[in-house]
Amino acid sequence: MLFYFLNFHPILQSLCAGCFTFFITAFGSAIVIFFKTIHKSIMDSMLAISAGIMLAASFFSLLNPAIEIANQLHMITWFVILVGFCCGGLLLYFGNQLLDFYTKKIHKRKKQSFRRCMMLFTSITLHNIPEGLVLGVAYASVPLVSQSTNIAAAIALTIGIAIQNFPEGSAISLPMRRDGFSRFHSFLFGSFSAIVEPVFACIGAALVLKIQSILPFVLSFTAGAMIFVTVLELIPESQSNPKKGLMTLLHMLGFSIMMILELVLG
């Protein structure tokens, strides 16, 4: 099966990767059908590992290739990378600000539990968009910059995103069930928070393949978005665990896994 996957078109590879992360989210959301809760330390550990993987991927799979390609295209490297990186972070920042404004309006009309559930669903869905773009960029970049990134790194990135999607699914479905939603509706909301990932994975791949000159900007843009999400959500959530030292070691473990894949197989 892996052999066939390696021979797929990059857009089809991106679609498969996005569908995989979507199904992992659905699997995490399905916990609501069988369990009332899941141990917080397990979820925090998964988030810590995936945060490390995503931080390493931001540099080794995105920023470093972006710098090399910008140099090859004789661009003003520092300017292109800086603008792309800042735009990625700012887009997520203003998205969060808009979400806060929207949920305050909901609060005036709906009960607190509904507001909390919708805020959680919307915020996770929003941050799944750059994750989808990252997947598309990673797979589309393989045939273009094979010296800097490869299919093994793209697959590792997919696994890293999937790992942190599992607790995200349950992080939506379990609170919704607790606040009175049915198990089925809680499962649906948790699952469909990640439906944007395969869609934006294909969009990201198509952009890179059609307009190769924007690759440095797109790579740095997705790196900025990924780091914003990681620092804003994944790291603080995992560090809320009483065993902060262990969570930090798991961050380093995730970072090391991605770094080794890039340095050994890149």
- 137: CB partners within 8 A, 6+ apart: 62, 204, 205, 208, 218, 219, 222
Higher pLDDT pick, 34 / 243: 243
Average pLDDT for 27-37? 81
| pLDDT score of 62 | 78
- 186: CB partners within 8 A, 6+ apart: 29, 32, 172, 173, 174, 176, 177
**How many other β-carbons are positioned within 10 Å of the β-carbon of residue 90?**
13
| pLDDT score of 148 | 46
| pLDDT score of 196 | 92
Residue 80 has pLDDT above 60, yes or no: yes
Tens-place pLDDT, residues 51-70: 887 788 788 877 888 898 88
Average pLDDT for 223-252? 86
Task: Out of 15-24, 163-172, 197-206, pick the least confident.
Answer: 163-172
Quick check: 204 and 135 in contact, CB under 8 A?
yes
**How many other β-carbons are positioned within 10 Å of the β-carbon of residue 31?**
21
What does the alpha-carbon distance between residue 90 and residue 84 come to, in Å, rounded to a whole number?
10
| pLDDT score of 201 | 92
- Smallest CA-to-CA distance from 220 within 33, 83, 93, 39 is with 83
